[in-house]
Chains A and B, each alone.
Chain A
Amino acid sequence: MAGAATLEAVDNTAKAEAPIQAFTVTLNIRRYDPEKDAEPYWQDFDVELYATDRVLDALHKIKWEQDGSLTFRRSCAHGICGSDAMRINGRNRLACKTLIKDLDISKPIYVEAIKGLPLEKDLIVDMDPFFASYREIQPFLIASSKPDKERIQSVAQRERFDDTTKCILCAACTSSCPVFWTDGQYFGPAAIVNAHRFIFDSRDEAANVRLDILNDKEGVWRCRTTFNCSEACPRGIEVTKAIAEVKAAVLRGKPDIPKK
């Protein structure tokens, strides 16, 4: 019964028989509690970790075993809820999707809050401005038809906006964008991604409204294609490409959607 693949896996797992080794890793975390601190400061913590641990595990070990006041958001712990975007070694990532083995642990791991949103405490920022931009692009289906059953949408039409439906609103993209850092009024990549999700949905009838909104001086034209957002996206969304498609739709006056 055993397929070749099965046997291969059994062989692979056999390699794991060596005792699992723990490492002492130093995390250097940017702390800030406005109830106590005039300014943010960096603090070192040494933690025993396994290669397969995530940065979130490291933060939990610190909070649970060393310093209960270390503060961060998290929920699902496997990259789907979008709570724990933070800057890890200068890159925006989800702490629950960043494994220790993928970082250079010969040096401290630097962890700080995402940039461009007001810092509230340790790794927590105020997310309200982020969600305010999201709300502005009318992130909901606008369709006048009232079908008895489902609206018909072809496989190709559904595929057209598939990538941007993956967004979890973690803000990793927006807070990695140098334009957003200097101009908090800019809608930012996440809002544009969510506009894209509706602009390119064949069922939606309000692409023009959203294209108008994004043709604003704080809209898509602020994007300077530095690709930070695409690199930051933990869902692998091609964010810069989506923004470029919205720019093209603004110029054409309508989105490029398969007819069927």
Chain B
Amino acid sequence: MSDYLEFEDGDVIDGVHYHRHDVVIVGAGGAGMRAAIEAAPRANTAVITKLYPTRSHTGAAQGGMAAALANVEEDSWEWHTFDTVKGGDYLVDQDAAEILAKEAIDAVLDLENMGLPFNRTPEGRIDQRRFGGHTRDHGKAPVRRACYAADRTGHMILQTLFQNCVKLGVNFFNEYYALDLVMTEVDGVPQPSGVVAYELATGELHVFQGKSIVFATGGFGKIYKTTSNAHTLTGDGVGIIWRKGLPLEDMEFFQFHPTGLAGLGILLTEGARGEGAILRNASGERFMERYAPTIKDLAPRDIVSRCMVQEVAEGRGAGPHKDYVLLDCTHLGAEVLETKLPDITEFARTYLGVDPVVEPVPVMPTAHYAMGGIPTNVKAEVLRDNDTVVPGLYAAGECACVSVHGSNRLGTNSLLDINVFGKRAGNNAVDYASTVDFTPLPADPAKAVRELVEGLRDASGTERIAALRKELQDEMDRNAQVFRTDESLAKVTETIHELRERYKKVSIQDKGHRYNTDLLEAIELGFLLDLAEVVVYSAKNRKESRGGHMRDDYPKRDDETYMKHTMAYLTGDPHSADAADHISLDWKPVVITNYQPMERKY
């Protein structure tokens, strides 16, 4: 008898639905749909998404997408590469950054050709605006490099990609939650063979066998309380990879976007500062002049966020509790705000009752973007260690770490990343699928997910999901946010350990099968706890300050010891109490081509 499962596409065996597609893409945000646009015309492709595609968080991106088109002033992809490397505090793999900057130009033109309604120059070309860290000639002055569509560039990218998926008849499985990657032992080596998904509408399980599998599952900002991220950004994809024993890279580097609406975390685009808005402290001082004299408010996000927190810590915060700073757009005038920044103008009015036309907006940093994630090479192939690829497995977008962002991503480089590496992932996935046969599925590929789902549905513990999640998020904000110390990270470690123990005793109230979001929130919390632990464990180990990882107890960058990527592996019993018993850390060299590390001044 074969150890493998025999089935036909469309079979239902023991209640589990089986599907067979050459390429299986998990996630329908920018990266997933960009991959699908390449894959679907050339191979039998399925896209699995936990939402409807247009609900994906790419749609919340606002300010722009960088490309050295030089439509409005002199620019070059080489300058863009340098800015990306310097912005990432030299932890960027420079070969990847070069690809990102070079292919940016075609990526923008591709989108325009697909129909994206970019804002235009008086000559009818794509208009460009300034953005943090993007400069002319290696840091001399800000440059207009961000292509944009008002302050809803991400929305327009998501819509345009979805429109083109509709045009191509892409096969979407909407509201299917991917919960496991199936690996089959072939000649003693585990090979990816499929994905297990939970159908929200019915509670039924589906197994998608694929020759190539692309993860484009987005970030995990919900490990924090104050975040610009959607409720659904719980890192399921990254968590699945982690649980398979595959490494995660540079997880300690999380970006805090400077201008979240104070107390709420809702994003106000850096494009506001690109258009000339200014950050001020309680006395009205433009404090960024002190910290980054050349490019001031347009310094990269890690720097601006730190300066804001420092202003508040030193008593110069605004408001009754002196706990935020002000984003002053008043001098831009109603016309610029209504035409170039209409959405953020409305967010401030709706959620804070503050009209940016006449008064400055209270802002503070908000957890925004994971620089780290699933390690890949520049072909978007997932790595099993520093050098070995997992054949047939790809990752792109925020869930991946190429690494084009190093320790701090520049604004507008993420919309670029999803387009450049989403396209590469789609193309390479098809190429690979055309050369291989399906890896057979093991006998009962849905077993682990079925046990997880049934275990939670039957659980009778006393712990509530929402309470545990809130404690995690509060603690991460308190002790693993913009500034970290050994002591603060030790506290979070303890909290996570306690929460993981309590997570074993959770129960849910909804025992049904249809649209059981109670159950899925429980599963999502499991991923959040796993990933928070990796973030904190990696952060504790990096005793230096670099980019988005600021250690108050080690305030300097230490190239001697830490000019390398963190690689974290799950190596022991994931349920063991002490993180050190199940996480092991290794290093991976940084690829340096043209730019030797220098002190980072703006």
Give the B-binding residues of A (Cβ under 8 A): 1-3, 5-10, 12-14, 16-17, 33-36, 52, 63-65, 67-69, 71-83, 97, 99, 120-122, 124, 127, 131, 134-135, 138-141, 143, 146-147, 149-155, 157-158, 161-162, 165-169, 198, 201, 203-204, 236
Contact = CB atoms under 8 A, between A and B. Distances in A.
A162 B126 CA distance: 15
A67 B358 contact: no
Interface in B158-190: 159, 163-164, 166-167
Contact of B117 (A138, A146, A161): A161
B320 A2 contact: no
Given A1-B286, A5-B360, A140 B115 contact: yes
Given A6-B280, A74-B231, A76-B55, 12 more contacts: A1-B283, A2-B284, A9-B359, A10-B318, A64-B466, A69-B518, A71-B515, A75-B55, A146-B113, A150-B126, A155-B122, A165-B159
B320 A13 contact: yes
Contact of B55 (A16, A63, A81, A162): A81
Contact of A131 (B52, B60, B467): B52
Nearest to A204: B115
Nearest to B321: A17
A153 B510 contact: no
Contacts of B509: 67-69
10 contacts: A1-B285, A5-B330, A8-B359, A13-B320, A74-B231, A83-B55, A121-B514, A153-B117, A153-B120, A158-B119
A77 B518 contact: no
A76 B320 contact: no
Contacts of B405: none
Given A1-B284, A10-B318, A81-B60, A69 B510 contact: yes
A90 B342 CA distance: 28
Contacts of B207: none
A79 B52 CA distance: 15
A17 B517 CA distance: 38
Contacts of B164: 140
Contacts of A169: 52, 54
B492 to A, nearest CB: 22
A3, A65, A120, A135 interface centre (most CB from chain B within 10 Å): A3
Given A52-B351, A155-B122, A2 B266 contact: no
A36 B511 CA distance: 11
A72, A138, A140, A146 interface centre (most CB from chain B within 10 Å): A140
A3 B466 contact: no
Contacts of B57: 75-76, 81
Given A3-B328, A9-B326, A78-B266, A36 B230 contact: no
Contacts of B328: 3, 5-6
B210 interface: no
A198 B54 CA distance: 18
Interface residues of B, number: 78
A139 B118 CA distance: 17
B59 A6 contact: no
Given A13-B320, A71-B510, A168-B155, A65 B354 contact: no
B488 interface: no
A5, A17, A52, A236 interface centre (most CB from chain B within 10 Å): A5
B58 to A, nearest CB: 10
Name the prevailing secondary structure of the A interface residues: loop
A-B pairs, top 7 by smallest CB distance, nearest first, are A2-B284, A141-B115, A64-B466, A68-B509, A69-B510, A152-B124, A68-B518
A105 to B, nearest CB: 17
B596 interface: no
B152 interface: yes
B464 interface: yes
A249 to B, nearest CB: 18
B247 interface: no
Contacts of A151: 112-113
Contacts of A65: 464, 466
Contacts of A73: 55
B326 A141 contact: no
A69 B166 CA distance: 34
Contacts of A34: 514
B17 interface: no
B85 interface: no
B60 A78 contact: yes
A150 B282 CA distance: 45
Given A9-B354, A75-B232, A150-B125, A120 B326 contact: no
Contacts of A203: 115
B113 A80 contact: no
Contacts of A154: 120, 124
B41 to A, nearest CB: 14
A13 B319 contact: yes
Interface string B230-245: 1110000000000000
Contacts of B515: 71, 120-122, 124
B59 A168 contact: yes
Nearest to B156: A165
Contact of A147 (B113, B114, B353): B113
B149 interface: yes
A10 B282 contact: yes
Contacts of A7: 284
A80 B117 contact: no
Contacts of B465: 64, 68
Contacts of A10: 282, 318-319
Contact of A6 (B326, B513, B518): B326
Nearest to A16: B320
A138 B266 CA distance: 33
A7, A36, A150 interface centre (most CB from chain B within 10 Å): A150
A114 to B, nearest CB: 14
B120 A12 contact: no
A108 to B, nearest CB: 23
Contacts of B510: 68-69, 71
Contact of A3 (B115, B331, B350, B513): B331
Contacts of A152: 123-125
A122 B510 CA distance: 13
Contacts of B119: 158
Contact of A13 (B330, B362, B512, B518): B362
Nearest to A154: B124
Interface in B97-126: 108-109, 112-115, 117-126
Contact of A75 (B51, B124, B343): B51
